[in-house]
Structure 1
Amino acid sequence: MSVRQRVPFRFSENGDENARILDEQEQEELLEQLKRKSDENNSQYSFFIRIVIALSSTLHILYLLKSPESKKPPIAVLFPNYTPPDGFRPITGHLFFTTLNLFIHANLSVHLAHPTHHVREWLARGDYHQYTSFLPLPFSVLFALSAPAPLMSFIVSNGWHDVVWWGETAAMVWFVSSAHRWMGEETESLRNLERLRYDARGA
């Protein structure tokens, strides 16, 4: 019967302090613990971001349902003294851009879904996968799609409230892409750590 060797401590190269040496089983346990913690953190972050996306989507739906005569930017309610510019009118194609923004929000939600989520699996392998396999769209494409509306609002001088409203979707794309990249970097760091595992028996 072979006994797995444990090397509990080892001096560091500079001799200033003791360095803890982990054997294979301890490395596995530590990596599993780090993975669980990372998954928990990512789940919490994703849940919070989904709430933000849902709130933003709700504002766009309410804006879509408003009458054409009252399509002032929703953020105007935060500024009691807000008065729209003289002759204020919604930007041309405001219904199209609002629908497009909702489509962008849906893509952002899918980006946050786990690869094994049923929505991701349906998009990749569903009955209509030849039409949906490209979804969700890359963040760069989503950002490009969100850019024309705020630019148009700025050009027609609808006031900074309206520009900010139409630019909110672009800000959401940046926010979600940054969080998505950060979570991906954390996952990649764990993969690199797993590749760097060493065998304490040779220590």
Structure 2
Amino acid sequence: MAKRGDSLEMAVLGLLLESPLHGYELRKRLNLLLGWSRLLSYGSLYPALKKMLRAGWISDEFEPTAVTRRQRITYEITDAGREHFASQMTESGPASWEDDSFDVRFVFFARSDLDVRLRILEGRRTRLEERLERLGKTSSGSDRYAAELQRHRVESVERELSWLTDLIEAERQASDRKGPEVEPGGSEDPSTNPSTNPSTNTETRK
């Protein structure tokens, strides 16, 4: 199962790939990105940043501020951090299908290969189908509010399943449109080239 700390590290690296950020702005963007039920606290963010500094994935720069005597710290991704992020974005196993991890990976899908995206989307759909089956077997008893909560959970899963199915279809269509790869030196089919196809060569033979 994916750890929330791993998802946080991936989100930090993904945001820093776009531009360096200081702690306040980074926390604000992370809260928008992660969408967790509880806001990300500085008590969770800064230990993660210190770990990433020790790993060499990010660097920090201290800047004096005019308002207070405290220095503002700006974080920037390093080459090692870029390599680590790229490596993580190739992972498509079960951990990438979990709730916390999937959301982060999906935000940065543009940095993943098509086959990786498809495996993650299909894995996520399978996971939700299993969840829906479990919900169908769970009895809410005679309590009206428990039954309403159960119905809400089922409908939420069904909506996401429909959304995933549309995404998977769109990704497959994109894969089909790519067609065969072009080989260096020219990939033109000789049968369609007038200069090489005798049936379309208009030169008069003597």
- Same fold by TM-score, threshold 0.5 exceeded? no
**TM-score, normalisation: structure 1:** 0.31
Structure with the higher fraction of residues in strand conformation: 2
- Normalization by structure 2: what TM-score? 0.30
